[in-house]
């Protein structure tokens, strides 16, 4: 599979994208748990929450083909894989 991180357009592009999901963040218990799983990277947590809702916490531990069969949690282990995760999230249907 193609490494998605090669398509990362930079942090400014990601910041603009992730701001679109701020209104859906309510600090619920599920969202707070997700935020901890995302290592307090609220921008990631907000995007994941928007797309996956109540399934967000479960999704973090599932291997994803789009992530080269890594879990989103595994992608949080280094900067290259975080970029892969961000590109994957940016490709989710709106």
The SS3 assignment for 12 reads helix
Tell me the whole-structure pTM to 2 decimals. 0.94
> Which tens digit of pLDDT belongs to each residue from 36-93?
999 999 999 999 999 999 999 999 999 999 999 999 999 999 999 999 999 999 999 9
- Cα dihedral 56, 78, 13, 65 sign: negative
Beta strands in the chain (DSSP E): none
What's the token pair of residue 25?
């963040």
The pLDDT of residue 35 = 98
> Which tens digit of pLDDT belongs to each residue from 15-48?
999 999 999 999 999 999 999 999 999 999 999 9
The pLDDT of residue 1 = 56
pLDDT above 70 covers a percentage of the chain that reads: 99
The SS3 assignment for 55 reads helix
**Domain extent for 30:** 4-90
Average pLDDT, the chain: 96
Instruction: Sort residue 47 into left (φ over 0), alpha (ψ -120 to 50) or beta.
Output: alpha
Query: How many domains are contained in the chain?
Result: 1
37's CB contacts (< 8 A; 6+ apart) are 45, 57, 60, 73
The pLDDT of residue 94 = 75
More reliable by pLDDT, 94 or 35: 35
């Amino acid at each position: 599979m193609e490494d998605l991180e090669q398509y990362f357009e930079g942090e400014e592009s990601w910041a603009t994208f992730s701001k679109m999901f701020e209104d859906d963040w309510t600090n619920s218990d599920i969202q707070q748990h997700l935020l901890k799983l995302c290592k307090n990277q609220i921008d990631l947590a907000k995007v994941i929450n928007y797309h996956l809702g109540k399934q967000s916490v479960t999704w973090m531990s599932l291997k994803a083909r789009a992530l080269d069969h890594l879990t989103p949690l595994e992608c949080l282990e280094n900067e290259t894989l975080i970029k892969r995760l961000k590109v994957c999230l940016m490709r989710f249907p709106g």
